[in-house]
Amino acid sequence: MQGKASDMKRQMRFNRLVGEHRTDLYRYAYWLSRDPQLAEDVVQDAMLRAWKSLESLREDQAAKPWLLTIVRRENARFFERKRLETVDIDELVGAPTMQLATEDDTDSDDLRQAIFALEEDYREPLALQVLMGHSTKEIASIMGLTDGAVLTRLHRARKKLIENFDLGDG
């Protein structure tokens, strides 16, 4: 009886901490993997891993960066497995990403393609800043970089987007 109550309490804590961040986790995974189907898989695997190691999260306020770190590792694991299978990742992610382009306006589609074209080193901090609203320090912590390195990557990311796309004009 006590075990069942404890299980229920655990499930409720998990629902509360993870539930509100699922949209962010998916979008983060999407911009890391550049593929909607892979992003779903990564989030699902990340949720299972988070469920398994929920006790390691000491403070509830730290849930979001903790979850993002899990998503980041799951994504890396997936791509490592793919690398071992020697599948061409660009070929793999090419088709599904295009499916997204149908419902939105053309400008956003073009801009997404320009963001896809950025190297992951630049795309990831951009997603963490623009989508998640993380500070430079928080991004540095998640990515294991110095604050200066994060600022440089963010600057280069936007510079490349401006060069390749008429961003902010008009």
Partner 1 sequence: MTMNCEQFEHDVLATPLKDNDARREHAAECPPCAKLLARAKKMEQQLSAAMAVPVPESVTSEMPDMPSLESVSAASANTDKVVDLESRRRRPPAPVWLAVAASVALAAVLVLRQPAVDEAHIENLTAELIDHLAPEMGAMRVNYNSVPRTRLTSVLSPAGASMQTDAPLVSYAKSCLINGQLVPHLVVQGADGPVTVLVLPNEKVDGPISIMRNGLEGVIVPVEGGGSVAIIGRDAASVESVRQQTQESLAFDI
Which residues form the interface with partner 1 (CB under 8 A)? 11, 14-15, 18-19, 22-23, 25-27, 30-31, 36-37, 40-41, 43-45, 47-48, 51-52, 81, 84-85, 87, 96, 99-100, 103, 107-108, 111-112, 115, 126-127, 129-131, 136, 151-152, 154-155, 158-159, 161-162, 167-169
DSSP annotation of 132: T
Amino acid identity at 61: Q
Is the torsion defined by CA of 17, 65, 82, 95 positive or negative?
positive
The distance of closest approach from Cβ of residue 81 to partner 1 in the complex, given in angstroms and rounded to an integer, is 6
The distance of closest approach from Cβ of residue 61 to partner 1 in the complex, given in angstroms and rounded to an integer, is 20
The distance of closest approach from Cβ of residue 94 to partner 1 in the complex, given in angstroms and rounded to an integer, is 13
- DSSP, residue by residue, 70-94: HHHHHHHHHHHHHHHTT--HHHHHH
Query: In this complex, which beta carbon is closest to partner 1, that of residue 30 or of residue 66?
Result: 30
Burial class (CB within 10 angstroms; exposed 0-12, middle 13-18, buried 19+) of 163: exposed
